[in-house]
Structure 1
């Protein structure tokens, strides 16, 4: 991929990137593109396109694009804190799954959590928690609920408030990477449901 910047109405060559990278390298690729002057959304899209995951294969995996307010990023960095992205899969129970439904009438398909640095970047949920055979316990396709919170490295309390996901996993996959923005709870910014 060739990167250009328009200066005075003319395109000026900035740099070139070739090859393919592992999914774990996405944060470095985003930083590299942003250092060239690329906007965050473009840098994220670039990283998503040139990375692969050897463990990919689940039809229920997806990526989220984490961003943080300046105050949240500063506090998280000062405390050497990380964040956890937690994805809980569920569905409306089939006739076979009804007797195993939870107290709100859903069939729990399991939860996957990943711990990532508390800095802007891509977090990948593999979806490996859900197998094709699990679908017989639910009606239709699975849903997913995703929440982000501090890893509690620096203390017992979560102090960030983040956008969240709740809905059909197919919609999440079509919208990925889904942007989830985090702020400090004290900033009193309303979390948005996504995608």
Structure 2
């Protein structure tokens, strides 16, 4: 075989490998990213009370999804597949909180159809008092929306009577 034929064969082989890799990338589903950020803001009164009581804030993330018809028997009471819950407790001050998504049971994704859904609630850590003292906005929507940009949730004291808002 001449050098020219070897070079052509090498180029042809490289093109075949590249085409196979591109085809595999297109056919492979993109991995689901479960981590997201929550940007918590506090009313002045809530910030002051949390600081005075040295109380923490808990961000609770519940992951779920709709079952495939064949997997409906695995659904919980509300008809969804439970993927897991992650609670992140932080110092009682406003700021960014990272939810890693490491508590998720990824084997259950095979039981689902459609997108992964996410519900995020925020409440006080209940160390200084047995009761939650915060009224906070909440997120209820697609995980993909929360991954794109931080979820902005505002909290006030329950006693302030501020209306909470649904974010999605």
TM-score range normalised by the length of the shorter chain:
0.7 to 0.9
Paired position in structure 2 for 1:177: 150
How much has 1:58 moved relative to structure 2? Answer: 6.6
RCO higher in structure (CA 8 A, sep ≥6): 2
The yes-or-no answer on 1:64 pairing with 2:58 is: no
Q: Is 1:105 aligned to 2:73, yes or no? A: no
Cα distance in 2 for residues equivalent to 1:95 and 1:131: 20
1:67, CA displacement in angstroms?
Answer: 0.8
1:194 corresponding residue in structure 2: 167
Q: What's the CA shift for 1:101?
A: 1.1
Partner SS state of residue 69, structure 2 = coil
Give the gaps of 5 or more residues in structure 1.
1-56
How far off its partner does 1:138 sit?
1.0
Map 1:31-180; keep pairs closer than 5 Å.
59-174=33-148, 176-180=149-153
May I ask how many residue pairs the two structures share in their alignment?
A: 138
TM-score norm. by structure 2 comes to 0.77
Q: CA deviation at 1:190?
A: 1.1
Deviations 1:99-142 (A, max 9, x none): 02111111111100100011111101111223543211111221
Partner Cα separation in structure 1 for residue 78 and residue 105 of structure 2: 23
Contact 2:117 2:143 (C-alpha < 8 Å) held by counterparts: yes
Q: Which structure carries more helix by proportion?
A: 2
Q: Which runs of 4+ in 1 moved over 6 A?
A: none
Give the superposition deviation at 1:180: 0.7
Q: Distance in 2 between matches of 1:151 and 1:58?
A: 30
Q: CA 1:81 to 1:191, structure 2 compared with 1: closer, same or farther past 3 Å?
A: same
Secondary structure of the equivalent of 1:97? helix
| Cα distance in 2 between the residues matched to 1:173 and 1:118 | 24
TM-score, normalised via structure 1 length = 0.67
Residues in 2 aligned to 1:97 and 1:85: alpha-carbon distance in whole angstroms: 30
